[in-house]
Each structure stands twice: as structure tokens, then as C-alpha cells.
């Protein structure tokens, strides 16, 4: 299984990779730091899963998600976002696409017990 982790923070990509590698032994990983890299890497790999930070700088994560869902409609996507207001979260991602999962960063940071990442 190949997993593409897309986040503009290298420390976040590294942490997610470690967590996923522990949970999915034998998985292979690639990384992207922005939306353009996501689309480029997907064109060069046979990713089975995309972990996408929706708040990367530059091209909107929602635009990237739309392009991914258009070009790779069966690719599952886990969406990462930092939002504490659930109403704003629901407005921000009203229709992420079939097979997408919204994973709130607050839950991830609490799971990882990384105090400096929590608000």
C-alpha cells in the first residue's frame, strides 16, 4: 500500500508517517508540501490513500481535493484541518467527496500528546 502525505509542515508529515508506519507495516510513503506537489506525486505513484492538509498555503486544499476527486475518483482521502469551531468546519467542508474522511487535527494532536501543537 502506498500512502501520500500532503502537509506544508515537514514535522507533521514525519509524525503522520511514523504513526501510519506503525499501524500499517509494509506501507510505502511519499510526501508533498503543497497542492501542486500532490497532483504531481499522484501522477507518478500508485497511491492507495491520500492524507491531505486542507489548509496548505498557495493553492486551496479544496481546489486540490476537487482535482484529485476528478482525476482519481476512487482514491480515499483523509482530510486534515485545524478547526475548533464545528460549525465553521461543516461550512468549510460541506461536500469533501465520496470516500473522504474529515480528521480534525485536535484529535490527532491529543492522540500524539504533543503539547505545543495543541491550542
Q: What share of the chain has pLDDT > 70, as a percent?
A: 68
pLDDT reading at 54 higher than 60: yes
DSSP assignment of 28-65 equals EEEEESSHHHHHHHHHHS--SEEEEETT-SSS-HHHHH
Total Cβ atoms within 10 A of residue 99: 12
Total Cβ atoms within 10 A of residue 52: 26
> Could you read off the pLDDT of 102-116 as tens digits, one per residue?
554 444 444 444 443
**List of domains in the chain:** 2-57+64-117 (3.40.50.2300)
Its pTM stands at 0.73
CA 67, CA 61: separation in Å to the nearest integer?
10
Q: How confident is the prediction for the chain on average, in pLDDT?
A: 76
> Could you read off the pLDDT of 39-53 as tens digits, one per residue?
999 989 889 999 998
Which is nearest to 46 in space by CA: 66, 72, 65?
72
pLDDT at 110: 46
Answer yes or no: are the C-beta atoms of 81 and 92 closer than 8 Å: yes
Q: How confident is the model at residue 118 (pLDDT cuts 50, 70, 90)?
A: very low
> Could you read off the pLDDT of 58-87 as tens digits, one per residue?
887 778 888 998 899 888 888 887 654 455
Amino acid at each position: 500500500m502506498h500512502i501520500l502525505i500532503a502537509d506544508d509542515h515537514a514535522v507533521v508529515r514525519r509524525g503522520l508517517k511514523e504513526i501510519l508506519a506503525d499501524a500499517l507495516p509494509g506501507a510505502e510513503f511519499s510526501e508533498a508540501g503543497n497542492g501542486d506537489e500532490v497532483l504531481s506525486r499522484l501522477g507518478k505513484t500508485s497511491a492507495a490513500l491520500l492524507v491531505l492538509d486542507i489548509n496548505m498555503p498557495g493553492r486551496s486544499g479544496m481546489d486540490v481535493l476537487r482535482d484529485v476527486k476528478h482525476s482519481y475518483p476512487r482514491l480515499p482521502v483523509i482530510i486534515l484541518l485545524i478547526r475548533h469551531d464545528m460549525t465553521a468546519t461543516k461550512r468549510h467542508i460541506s461536500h469533501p467527496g465520496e470516500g473522504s474522511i474529515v480528521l480534525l487535527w485536535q484529535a490527532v494532536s491529543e492522540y500524539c500528546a504533543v503539547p505545543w501543537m495543541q491550542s
